Amino acid sequence: MPLGAFILRRLGLGLLSLLGVSILVFLFLHVIPGDPVDQLAGGEATPEQRQKIEQCMGLDVSMPEQFWNFLGNVADRTLGHQCPDPKGKPTVAALIGDAFPHTVALALVGLGFAIMMALPLGIYAALRRGTWFDTLAAIGALSGIAIPNMLLGPLLLLWFFVDLGWLPGPFEVGPTAIILPAFAVGTHLMAMLARMTRSAMVEVLGEDYLRTARAKGLPERVVVWKHALRNAIMPVVTVAGLQFGSLLSGSIIIENVFARPGLGSLLLAAIRERNYPVVQGCVLVIAASYVLVNIAVDVAYGLIDPRVRRA
C-alpha cells in the first residue's frame, strides 16, 4: 500500500474512533440521573435563569439536535460554550486551552522519568539475570504495575511531603512541585518498560553478532550500550509512544490528588457540575490525543518497515 493511502487509512480509522467516543460520551451523560440545570443554576434560580442556562447548553432541543450541535461546535473549534461563564472563557475550547498545557507537561515529565528509570533498571537486570538484583527488579516492576494511581499518589504525599518534608505538596508551585505527581504518573509505565527492556536485552545478548563484537575486543559497555541496546530498544520506544496517551488520561486522578491545574481537574469539576459541554470537550481532547499518538506511531512504523502498510 502506498504511504499516502496508508496514512489516509489510519486517519480515517482515527476519525471513526473519535466519532464513536463522542457518541458514547453523549449518551452516557444523558442517561445519568439528575438535571444539569439544577447543578449550575442552584435551587434559588428563577425560571428565566433556568431557561437561559438550558438555551446556553443547548438542552432546549431534542437529543439528535443536541448531538448535531455538538458536532457543529467541534467543526468550528469552539467545542461549545461555558454556561455560565465565570472565568472570562466563553468557549469550552478556550477553557481547555488553558488547562491542557499543564496536563501535557505532567505527562511529558512522567514519560521522561519512566524512560530514564526503566532503561538502566531493565538493562542491569538483564546483565544480572538470575541474581538477587534481577529478582528485586521483577518484584519492584510488578509492584509498580499493580499499585493504582489513586493509592500511590496519597502514599507519596504522606511519605515525601507530610513525614519527610522533602518535596512540595498540593497547591504549591515551583519547579519541584511537579516531581511527586510526575513520579506517580510515570511509575506504572516505568515498571512496564523496565520489564520489556529486560526481556528484549536478554534475547539480544545471546545473539551471535554480540559474541563477535566481544571477540574483537570491544569493551563490554560498548557491546551493551551501543550494539545490544540499539536492537533491543525499538519495541520499548514503541510502547512508550503508545502509552503517552494513557499518561494524559492517567493524569486525571493525579491532578485531583495533588490539586494541580490541568485537564483532569477541569474534567472532574465538570462531571460534578454536570456541565455537558465541558465534559464532552475534555473527553474528546483526551481521545484525540490518544488517537493522534497512535497514528503517529503507526505512520513511523510504516516508514521504517513497509510490510506494516499491508496489515
| Model pLDDT, residue 54 | 72
Per-residue pLDDT at 304: 57
Is residue 77 domain-resident? no
pLDDT in the model for residue 84 = 59
Question: Three-state SS for 91?
Answer: strand
Task: Decide if 254 is inside a domain.
Answer: yes
Q: Tens of pLDDT along the chain (311 residues)?
A: 666 676 777 777 778 877 887 788 777 777 776 666 666 666 666 777 777 777 777 777 777 887 887 778 777 777 777 665 555 557 788 888 888 888 888 888 888 888 888 888 888 887 778 788 878 888 877 777 777 777 777 788 888 877 777 777 777 667 777 888 888 888 888 888 888 888 877 777 777 776 777 777 777 677 777 667 777 777 777 777 777 777 777 677 788 778 788 887 888 877 777 777 888 888 888 888 877 877 777 776 666 555 555 65
**pLDDT for res 280:** 81
Domain extent, residue 156, equals 1-46+99-311
pLDDT attached to residue 112 = 85
Task: Evaluate whether residue 89 is within a structural domain.
Answer: no
* Neighbouring-strand partners of residue 91: 81
Residue 61 lies in a domain: no
Helices (H), the chain: 3-31, 36-41, 47-57, 63-75, 92-127, 132-146, 149-156, 179-205, 208-215, 220-222, 229-242, 244-257, 263-273, 276-304
- Please count the other Cβ atoms lying within 10 Å of the Cβ belonging to residue 161: 17
The answer to whether residue 74 sits within a structural domain is no
Question: What's the pTM value of the predicted model, to 2 decimals?
Answer: 0.74
pLDDT at site 38: 65
261 and 95 in contact (C-beta within 8 Å)? no
CATH code (residue 260): 1.10.3720.10
CA 128 to chain centre: 32
Q: Look at the chain and report how many structural domains it folds into.
A: 1
**DSSP secondary structure, 145-188, as one string:** HHS-HHHHHHHHIIIIIIIS--S--TT--SGGGGHHHHHHHHHH
What's the confidence (pLDDT) of residue 142? 78
Residue 196 counted as domain residue: yes
Separation between Cα atoms, residue 180 and residue 157, nearest integer Å: 8
pLDDT of res. 41: 64
d(CA 229, CA 251): 30
Give domain status of residue 90, yes or no.
Answer: no
The answer to whether residues 99 and 266 touch, using CB atoms and an 8 Å cutoff, is yes
Q: Is residue 204 in a domain? A: yes
| Residue 233 to residue 193: CA distance in whole angstroms | 10
